[in-house]
Amino acid sequence: MAFEATLNLENGIAKITLVGELDASVAPIFQEKIQEAANAHAQKLVLLMQGLSYMSSAGLRTLVFAKQKMGAQVKIYLIGTQEQVVEPIKQTGFHYSVIMLETYDPTVIEG
């Protein structure tokens, strides 16, 4: 499945929708969207991952890049992460650096 990353910026919240398989060949596309969000000084980064079916170590490195690029004050939310993608995130302990939610909850994220 082809990879897609789309960015929506609104009210200081950057939402990136990820679809397909995130590996080394497409990680730069994701990294570019993160850079755009950082350049816009987003206060929160929301990664909508329901459509992401696979993530390689390159994808995980891009998540680490996001955390570093956005800064410690910016909360990063992973929404709807599928089990096969959650596993490597948990194995590395990165889930302690982000907020993982099953569904997008505006009261949690926008409040």
Residue 56: HSE in the Cβ half-sphere, 13 Å Cα cutoff: 12
pLDDT of 37-73, one tens digit each?
999 999 999 999 999 999 999 999 999 999 999 998 9
| Mean pLDDT of the 12-36 span | 97
Cβ contacts of residue 39 below 8 Å, gap of 6+? Answer: none
Own/partner long-range contacts of 96-105 (Cβ < 8 Å, ≥24 apart): 97/67, 98/63, 98/67, 99/75, 101/77, 103/79, 104/46, 104/48, 104/79, 104/80
Average pLDDT, the chain: 95
Query: What is the percentage of the chain residues whose pLDDT exceeds 70?
Result: 100
Q: Residue 100 above 80 pLDDT?
A: yes
